[in-house]
Amino acid sequence: SVLRYITVISDDLLIDLIQVRKTLEAEATRLAAQNATEEDLKKIEHFALERQSLCARYRDDLKAVREELNALDYDFHKSIAEASKNKVIAAFILSIHSTFTEHQNRVSARAQIADQVNKLHLEIVEALKKRDQKQAKTLMYEHLQMVEDSLSSVISAQKGS
């Protein structure tokens, strides 16, 4: 399958995958705003707040907690997919877990990016809690667009060196 092929990933495929994620996860977030239980919302918020707290504690050395940051980020996105109550979207997010680590390792250890991610995660949580489907979808799309832009910048810089 294509997803098995993606486990050995090139820069171009990584960008392609983020572009697919933008579309699917934005819709998953809209559906989560509609379908999430209070328990789902607490779980999503927990991962966002834990990630923010970890970044604050290790602000000067985010690389030291990269694995924990990656796990919290993955849990945040996975929880939203599960809260959407769409089994296909949730299965997709689970199936691409290994690629999350690849792009996170390349962009998330920078404090500025970590701050932007945390801010958007918390804004997404607030939109979900308000059941604002349009805002939740827009914020997730913006979040993943920022990730795509950051990764593209890192890739360009690496190709230039």
pLDDT tens across 17-66, in order? Answer: 888 889 999 999 999 999 999 999 999 999 999 999 999 999 888 888 88
Strands (E), 37-127: none
Contacts of 82 (CB under 8 A, 6+ apart): 40, 90
Q: Which residue has the tokens 């593209």?
A: 152
pTM, entire model = 0.88
Task: Please state the length of the chain.
Answer: 161
Contacts of 108 (CB under 8 A, 6+ apart): 62, 66, 69, 70, 73, 114, 117
Q: What pLDDT score was predicted for residue 108?
A: 58
Summarize pLDDT for 75-125 with one digit per residue, the tens: 999 999 999 999 999 998 888 766 666 656 666 556 678 889 999 999 999
Q: What pLDDT score was predicted for residue 14?
A: 81
Q: CA 130 to CA 137: how far, in whole Å? A: 13
Q: What pLDDT score was predicted for residue 93?
A: 84
